[in-house]
Structures are given as C-alpha cells and as structure tokens.
Amino acid sequence: MEAQKTILITGAAGFLGSHLCDRFIKEGYKVIGMDNYITGDRKNINHLFNHTSFSFIEHDVTEHIKIKDELDFILHFASPASPIDYLKIPIQTLKVGSLGTHNLLGLAKAKKARILIASTSEIYGDPLVHPQPESYFGNVSTIGPRGVYDEAKRFQESITMAYHRFHGVEVRIVRIFNTYGPRMRLNDGRVIPAFMGQVLRGEDLTVFGDGSQTRSFCYVDDQVEGIFRLLLSDYSEPVNIGNPHETTILDFAKEIIKLGESEQKIIYKPLPQNDPLQRQPDISLAKRLLNWEPKVPREIGMKITFDYFKSLSHDELYKKEH
Ligand code: NAD
Ligand code: UDP
C-alpha cells in the first residue's frame, strides 16, 4: 500500500482553502491546515477538527514557519482575496504575498515538497487582450489601490519561478479567475455575496459603474478539480483556471434578482478605481494540459450558493463588518 501523503494548506479557514482541505482529505491525504483567521472563519473547517487525517496550526505565514512533519505538498492559499479586504489591510496583503510566499518556498525547499501557489487573474490588471491567455503580461497600475494585491501576486509568481530555476523546487502556479460557492463571507464585498445578501435582506442591488464591466464566474468544485489536476501535473508555469462564461455585472444583478424571486431595484454607485472592465479566462492550456474544463452550469452553482446564504442565521445575514 502507498504511504499516506502529507499536504500543508495555508489559508485553510478561508473559502477556497477549506474546500481544498475537504478535497484532499477525501483523496486520502493527511492535511495540515494553517491560518491566522484574518479574513477566514473557523466555522469553515469546524467539521474537520475531529478527523484523524486533519490537524491545524494557527499561524501568520509572514512569520517563520516551523513544521515537524515531512511534507509532500504545499498549497499556499493564504491571502485576503476581496478588494474591500485588501484595501482595509493593504500592508498585510503585500506581506502575505511576498514574505509569506518566501517562507513557504523556503519550507518547500527544506522539505523537498512540491508547492502550488494561488495566483490570480488580477495579475492581468485591466486587460488590453481579451480573453486573457497565460502569455499576456498584463496591465496593472503599481500605485493604484488594487496594486497592493496585484503586485504582491505578481511578485509571488516571480519568486516562485526563481525558487524553481535557482533551487530546483517543484512549483505549480494557478491563476484563479473569479470563483464562487458556499463559504464565501457574506460581507466580504465580492459581487456574489454582496448581491445575494442584498436580495435576502430586501435591499436594492448596488451595481458599480454602469454595470457593463464583465466577469466570468467559476463554481468552486470546478476550481478545486482544476487545482487538484494541476498539482499532480508536471507543468511548472502558470495555468489559468476559471470559467469562460462571461457576463456583464448588470445582467448578473438581474440574474440574482430572478433567482431570489424578488423585486428589488438596481441602484448605481461609482466604479471603484482600477476596477477591470473585462475579464475572461482563455483556458486552452488547462484543457490541453490537464484535460480540464468547468462542468457545473451557472444556474446550478448559483442556486447552491444562494441556498447556502439563505441558510445563514438572521444575525449572520445582518452582521455589518465594514
Ligand atoms: P479567503 O479570504 O476566504 O481566504 C484566505 C484565507 O487566508 C483566510 O482564511 C485568511 O484568514 C488567511 N490568511 C490571510 N493572511 C494570512 C496570513 N498572513 N497567515 C495565515 N493565514 C492568512 O479568500 P479565498 O477566496 O479563499 O482566496 C484564497 C486564495 O485564492 C488567495 O490567495 C486568493 O488570492 C486566491 N484567489 C481567489 C479567487 C477567488 O475568486 N476566490 C480568485 C483569485 C485568486
Ligand atoms: N461590484 C458591483 N457591486 C457590488 C460589488 C461588486 O457592481 O456590490 C462589481 C465590481 O465593481 C466589479 C465586479 O462586480 O466590477 C466584481 O467584483 P468582485 O469584488 O467580486 O471581484 P473583482 O473585481 O476582484 O473581480
């Protein structure tokens, strides 16, 4: 019988990290979760604490990381991911993408573990090429408000490739496009929880700008499958994982109003600075390399996500964080 593999997952108490913990436990791995709860929630992994293959370390990854166990794999997912989070904690965002990634690469080198880092479509900035293939270098403002996230992630990719080329560390880089599903934080300001929360509270939906900007939304199970396949592949350069089904934010607001069978109005607010006007992944590489493409239709993913938010308590639905 093959020995049980051990994987360290940072950002384990967050949206994607918690789903990744579930998936790797299901695949028979020993999972060590790590998080400092800055934007995550223990409730996302509460169900794992009694599991014999799961352990947890509360730790800020920008501080030196000590792990006793041997590690086969590392998934580095710790980082604020929502614009209002990273605007509220800009320095921590820069630190987790730079110092945090440096610590994890050092750990991967010491343990001879393969490391996959969570990059983002944000490295393409407000793209001048559409859809975005991995070969596009991007259009990011270094000093704009989103720069703290985008540049941290760009640095993260550079230091990861440097560890690969200079130290021979086995690396994988996933460029994640907007992903949604249960366990997103209702008040994290991202558009899906924002609109769904507004529908459930009977509030008007706040569309930023004229709503003509586009995004392409990927259901979490599809994203996790793509990440799983990439980790086990032998490809060291960045790979886009996302759903190419693109929609305007205005149409999306109307879709969520319909889903809630509600009659709320749409109100318009100013478009945040440097908000990308369009975004759609070119997933040809993932299809070719990983034989991966998204499977979950939007109506199904949205219904599951809406039902999740609907099941939250009254207090959670009305909790104001910002
Ligand atoms: P999230 O905020 O739900 O999860 C991030 C987790 O990281 C949280 O639990 C938080 O407490 C933890 N964390 C942050 N800083 C930390 C630190 N210094 N030390 C330890 N833990 C820390 O966000 P998410 O949507 O799950 O995103 C996870 C990763 O995926 C991030 O790296 C993000 O940049 C990337 N990503 C996500 C999306 C998306 O659509 N969800 C898109 C692109 C990239
Ligand atoms: N958005 C919006 N209303 C909201 C929250 C977001 O119109 O209440 C818009 C936002 O301006 C952006 C899009 O929805 O154009 C997606 O925003 P999100 O924060 O989810 O992700 P990102 O901009 O990082 O892709």
Residues 6+ apart with CB under 8 A from 315: none
User: pLDDT digit string (tens) for 58-112?
Assistant: 999 999 999 999 999 999 999 999 999 999 999 999 999 999 999 999 999 999 9
pLDDT of residue 234: 98
pLDDT of residue 2: 82
Residue 18 in contact with residue 183, Cβ under 8 Å?
Answer: yes
The whole-number average pLDDT for the span 230-237 is: 98
**Which residues approach ligand 1 with their CB closer than 6 A?**
10-11, 13-17, 35-40, 60-62, 77-81, 96, 100, 118, 120, 176, 178-179
User: pLDDT digit string (tens) for 22-64?
Assistant: 999 999 999 999 999 999 999 999 999 999 999 999 999 999 9
Q: What pTM was computed for the model?
A: 0.97
- Rounded Cα distance, 282 and 301, in Å: 21
pLDDT of residue 262: 84
Q: 6-180+218-241: which CATH topology? A: Rossmann fold (3.40.50)
Residue 237 in contact with residue 135, Cβ under 8 Å?
Answer: no
Nearest CA to ligand 1 atom 4: 14
Whether 149 sits among the annotated catalytic residues: the reply is yes
Nearest CA to ligand 1 atom 21: 35
The whole-number average pLDDT for the span 283-310 is: 97
DSSP 88-101: HSHHHHHHIIIIIH
Using CB atoms within 10 Å of the CB of residue 52, give its burial: 0 to 12 exposed, 13 to 18 middle, 19+ buried: exposed
pLDDT at 320 over 80: no
User: pLDDT digit string (tens) for 157-188?
Assistant: 999 999 999 999 999 999 999 999 999 999 99
pLDDT at 322 over 60: no
Residue 293 in contact with residue 251, Cβ under 8 Å?
Answer: no
Q: Which ligand is nearest to the CA of 14?
A: 1
DSSP 124-136: GBS-SSSSB-TT-
Q: Which two tokens stand for residue 49?
A: 């604490």
pLDDT at 1 over 80: no
Using CB atoms within 10 Å of the CB of residue 320, give its burial: 0 to 12 exposed, 13 to 18 middle, 19+ buried: exposed
- For the chain, give every domain's residue range: 6-180+218-241
Using most ligand atoms within 8 A of CB, pick from 22, 39, 58, 183 the residue to mutate for ligand 1.
Answer: 39
> Residue holding tokens 């436990």?
25
Residue 172 in contact with residue 233, Cβ under 8 Å?
Answer: yes
Strand order in the sheet with 114-120: 54-58, 30-35, 6-10, 73-76, 114-120, 171-176, 238-241
pLDDT of residue 44: 98
Fill in the amino acid letter for 198: Q
* Residue 146 CA to ligand 1 centre (angstroms): 15
Using most ligand atoms within 8 A of CB, pick from 10, 16, 156 the residue to mutate for ligand 1.
Answer: 16
Mean pLDDT lowest among 12-21, 175-184, 254-263: 254-263
Q: Which of 86, 149, 180, 219 is catalytic?
A: 149
The whole-number average pLDDT for the span 144-161 is: 97
Is residue 109 within a helix (H) or strand (E), and if so which, with residue range? helix 101-111
Task: Give the orientation angle of helix 191-201 with respect to helix 249-259, to 10 degrees.
Answer: 40
